A and B are shown apart, each in its own frame.
Chain A
Amino acid sequence: MRYLLYRLRRLAIVLGVVTFITFLLVNVLPGDVAYEMAGMDSSEEEVQAIREDLGLDRPVLLRYAEWVGGVFVGDWGTSYINQENVWEAITDRFPVSFELMLLAQIIALSLAIPAGVASAFRPNGRADRIIGSLAFASVSMPSFMTAILLIFIFALGFGWLPATGYEPISEGLWANLRPMILPALSLALVEWTVLMRTLRAEMIAVLQENYIALARAKGMSNMRILLVHALRPSSFSMITLLGLQVARLLGGTIIIEQIFGIPGVGRLLIHAVYTRDFIVIQGCVTFFALAFVTANFLVDIAYAWLDPRVRTGGAHG
């Protein structure tokens, strides 16, 4: 419990540092948003007027304090470009990004678990080496490359799936999922290798345990030993990794949403970066950090729930 409190305090400090550094960074932008709003050929006075209008001429610290105060009451500011409420803009788009990340993680897990189990069963065996080489190749492909290849093969070549676009869930489940398959697959094909390697390493260790030997001696089938007895104790590192991967997935969705034209938070951020709409950038970064921190907190809890040794603080260490 005390550890939990320590973690929470630390998280609060981390979030504070993140938002403050981001705020400083976006506020030293050369060519600030006032230029953007004033248009191409406007005088210095007009720009200055806009700046005063937005309150951009006041000290950075004061504005930061104001912004933090706003965040706590749910006011994340409004976009300078289209006057959209930042909090609403993010929460409108987040479900889309979340769906993409969830699908990607499901695909990655459904690739990683069988592959990891198969290669841990006989380390350095044929299956292990084939899977290992595949993993090596796939880790050398950044997601944007995979995306282009997938579009080329499945959208342009076979014409099975659309290359870009997004359909809301109200259009029906399949209509919603169909354009999501390729983006999720491009993310998953990068992420699965890390999960697979972790699972493999830990499972090889678990398979050396005495109770596995006992299960073998009892004549239990390999399938049952691997899936029933070895999988759960081998999956803890992988689950911790799922939380850490949220940061990479969030980063990945930015580029994937851009390629496939999916209206998620990543797209919002990229658009804000192009237009230098810094209050939106600030909101997105804060939101990403918050999402990452929450995900890891949830993973810690899941970890305790899965591993009785953590839950009871038992003697096994």
Chain B
Amino acid sequence: MADVTSSTQRDATQRPEIDRNAIAIALHRRSRRFGLFFWIPMVWLIVVAVACIFAPFWGLPPADEIDWVYIQSPPVEGHPLGTDNLGRDLLSRIVWGGRVSLTVGFAAPFIGVGLGLILGLIAGYYRGWADEVIGILIDAWLAIPGLVILLLFSVVFGGSLFMVCVSLGLLFIPTAARITRAATLNYATREFVLAAKAMGASDIRILRKEVFPNIIWPLIAFVLIDIPIAIVVEGSLSFLGLSVKAPTPSWGGIIAEGREVLSTSPHIAMVPTVVMFLTVLSFNLVGDAIRRRLADVREGAI
């Protein structure tokens, strides 16, 4: 703020009003530009993503192959991060486990926000009893802790990757539906919706063409927030052994196995912990930067 006032005083021209605005906008832009706190985490995410997506091509030993020579060993030739308590290559397990975490991290928010979007549109557009019923369902959903819902689902539907994605996605429905409902309520009474109605557009068309484009931005921001949350929750679930089935590695699972030998070989738990922490932190930082940029786009500041 001090910069802005002093510089306006210095070159006080005929139109100080416009001048001040220009400086303020420039300052604002500089503060919103993608800085190091965007690019460093972005690079880390790209490294992790490439490592996980192309996991079969790195010539790593299979994640469930037991090396009887090196059991629970520190880093050695052939095992850059050492082996776990069953003699399986830790690096390979982390890379393959990352596939599970990233898949869930991306799939679950999209499933949840997609379903929440539909529910929210219905509740916000039609109101009345549909709104009431959806409201009660959402309240009921929120009254159970998320982890408990997941426990139930993992017992009932088993531990396939697909079911983990779906049941995690269900967690994001309530908030997504609430955001959508509030935004829809706002837009459903606007003039352009009324105009479309007057021209005889169907409800589906109004929702798709008039309401949807206006409410999609907060939901995209919400997906960005949800990705790290999904990764964290999947981690908690697999830590309890209730995510994907046992031989398939996942970060939470590796940490849980490493916990048992924490006193003798701490690296088994610590390495996946650090990797997971950095990944989640990076998603948070990148998401935050993009979210702020999105807010600017919506306010027309760029």
Q: Which residues of A are at the interface with B, using a C-beta cutoff of 8 A?
A: 10, 13-15, 17-18, 21-22, 25-26, 28-30, 136-137, 139-145, 148-149, 151-152, 156, 247-248, 250-252, 254-255, 258-259, 269-270, 273, 276, 281, 284-285, 288-289, 292-293
Q: For residue A276, which residues in chain B have a CB less than 8 angstroms away from its CB?
A: 155
B204 at the interface (CB under 8 A from A): no
Q: Give the CA-CA distance A23 to B259 in the complex, in Å.
A: 34
A27 to chain B, nearest CB (A): 9
Q: Give the CA-CA distance A299 to B147 in the complex, in Å.
A: 23
Q: Are A140 and B277 in contact (CB under 8 A)?
A: yes
Q: Give the CA-CA distance A187 to B156 in the complex, in Å.
A: 28
A17-B137, A140-B284, A288-B144 known; A255+B239 contact, CB < 8 A: yes
Contact of B236 among A10, A140, A144 (CB under 8 A): A144
Contact of A144 among B143, B146, B235 (CB under 8 A): B235
A151-B262, A285-B152 known; A292+B252 contact, CB < 8 A: no
Q: Are B284 and A285 in contact (CB under 8 A)?
A: no
Report the interface size for chain B: residues with CB under 8 A from the other chain: 41
B269 at the interface (CB under 8 A from A): yes
Q: For residue A258, which residues in chain B have a CB less than 8 angstroms away from its CB?
A: 240
A102 to chain B, nearest CB (A): 17
Closest to B235 in A: A142
Q: Give the CA-CA distance A18 to B228 in the complex, in Å.
A: 27
New contact pairs (18) apart from A140-B277, A144-B252, A152-B266, CB-CB < 8 Å: A14-B139, A17-B137, A25-B156, A28-B156, A137-B281, A140-B228, A140-B232, A140-B280, A144-B236, A145-B273, A247-B143, A247-B144, A247-B146, A255-B239, A270-B240, A281-B155, A285-B144, A292-B145
Q: Are A289 and B276 in contact (CB under 8 A)?
A: no
Q: Are B145 and A22 in contact (CB under 8 A)?
A: no
Q: Which 4 A-B pairs have the closest CB atoms?
A: A251-B145, A251-B147, A140-B281, A17-B140
Instruction: Give me 18 A-to-B residue pairs in the complex whose CB atoms sit less than 8 angstroms apart, sorted by A's number.
Output: A14-B136, A140-B232, A140-B284, A144-B252, A145-B235, A145-B277, A148-B273, A151-B262, A247-B142, A247-B146, A250-B148, A251-B147, A251-B148, A258-B240, A270-B240, A273-B154, A285-B144, A288-B145
Q: For residue B239, which residues in chain A have a CB less than 8 angstroms away from its CB?
A: 144, 255
Q: Mark B247-265, 1 if CB is under 8 A from A, else 0.
A: 0000010010001001100
Q: Are B151 and A144 in contact (CB under 8 A)?
A: no
B270 at the interface (CB under 8 A from A): yes
Q: Which of A136, A140, A248, A252 gathers the greatest number of chain B CB atoms within 10 Å?
A: A140
Closest to B150 in A: A251
The A/B interface has a contact count, at CB < 8 Å, of 122
Q: For residue A28, which residues in chain B have a CB less than 8 angstroms away from its CB?
A: 156
Q: Are B242 and A273 in contact (CB under 8 A)?
A: yes
Q: Give the CA-CA distance A17 to B154 in the complex, in Å.
A: 20
Decide if the interface of chain B is mainly helix, strand, loop or mixed: helix
Q: Mark B264-302, 1 if CB is under 8 A from A, else 0.
A: 001001100100110011001100000000000000000
Contact of A288 among B148, B232, B235, B273 (CB under 8 A): B148
Closest to A22 in B: B152
A26-B156, A139-B284 known; A10+B139 contact, CB < 8 A: yes
Q: Give the CA-CA distance A269 to B140 in the complex, in Å.
A: 19
Closest to B153 in A: A25
Q: Are B236 and A255 in contact (CB under 8 A)?
A: yes
Q: For residue A269, which residues in chain B have a CB less than 8 angstroms away from its CB?
A: 148, 151
Q: Are A29 and B269 in contact (CB under 8 A)?
A: no
A152-B270, A247-B142 known; A29+B147 contact, CB < 8 A: no
Q: Are A136 and B284 in contact (CB under 8 A)?
A: yes
Q: Are B137 and A142 in contact (CB under 8 A)?
A: no
Q: Give the CA-CA distance A142 to B153 in the complex, in Å.
A: 21
A283 to chain B, nearest CB (A): 12
A94 to chain B, nearest CB (A): 15
Q: For residue B144, which residues in chain A have a CB less than 8 angstroms away from its CB?
A: 18, 22, 247, 285, 288-289, 292
